[in-house]
């Protein structure tokens, strides 16, 4: 990847992250934003909307840092295990351990917050499903079947 391509990638991801976060934030937090509109506080509404854009910028930069960190970890893993196939299975094991940790230790079902916990589990399963579908198409387009687990690993942990 050249510097020119990296800069293009960086700013495209930054803009997409900012816009998607602002639009989704507007939809999800409409009760927060609607009070500004109903009270005629248009500058406050604009300020909150711009804040959501900058929050998206921040998450985009964090995701890109994670992407480049994964590229480094991937090289270490391939060199450490001396086999791409073995490294792929290690990544699959790491995914399984993290999912187990998230479901059984972080989202403990209690009567008081069952709805919230089920929402988080649904989001977690959705993230995994989207990662698997994305990895399938990425591996198919690049014609590199051995990259499937690496793509799932990367998509699960570092995409915005």
Q: What is the pLDDT of residues 16-35, one digit of tens each?
A: 999 999 998 888 888 888 89
User: In this structure, is the dihedral angle defined by the CA atoms of residues 101, 103, 109 and 112, taken in order, positive or negative?
Assistant: positive
Using one digit for the tens of pLDDT, what is the confidence trace for 92-136? 888 888 878 777 776 665 556 666 677 777 877 887 888 888 878
Under the banding of pLDDT at 50, 70 and 90, the label for residue 149 is low
Considering the chain, what is the average pLDDT of its residues? 81
Q: What is the pTM of this model?
A: 0.65
């Amino acid at each position: 990847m050249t510097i020119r391509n990296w800069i293009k990638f960086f700013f495209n991801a930054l803009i997409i992250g900012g816009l998607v976060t602002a639009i989704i934030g507007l939809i999800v937090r409409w009760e927060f934003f609607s009070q500004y509109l109903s009270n005629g506080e248009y500058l406050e509404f604009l300020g909150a909307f711009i804040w959501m854009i900058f929050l998206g910028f921040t998450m985009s930069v964090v995701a890109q840092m994670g992407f480049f960190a994964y590229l480094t970890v991937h090289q270490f893993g391939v060199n450490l295990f001396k086999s791409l196939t073995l490294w792929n299975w290690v990544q699959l094991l790491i995914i399984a351990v993290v999912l187990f940790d998230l479901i059984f230790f972080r989202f403990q079902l209690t009567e008081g917050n069952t709805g919230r916990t089920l929402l988080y589990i649904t989001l977690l399963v959705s993230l995994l499903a989207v990662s698997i579908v994305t990895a399938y198409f990425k591996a198919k387009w690049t014609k590199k079947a051995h990259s499937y687990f690496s793509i799932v690993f990367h998509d699960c942990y570092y995409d915005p």
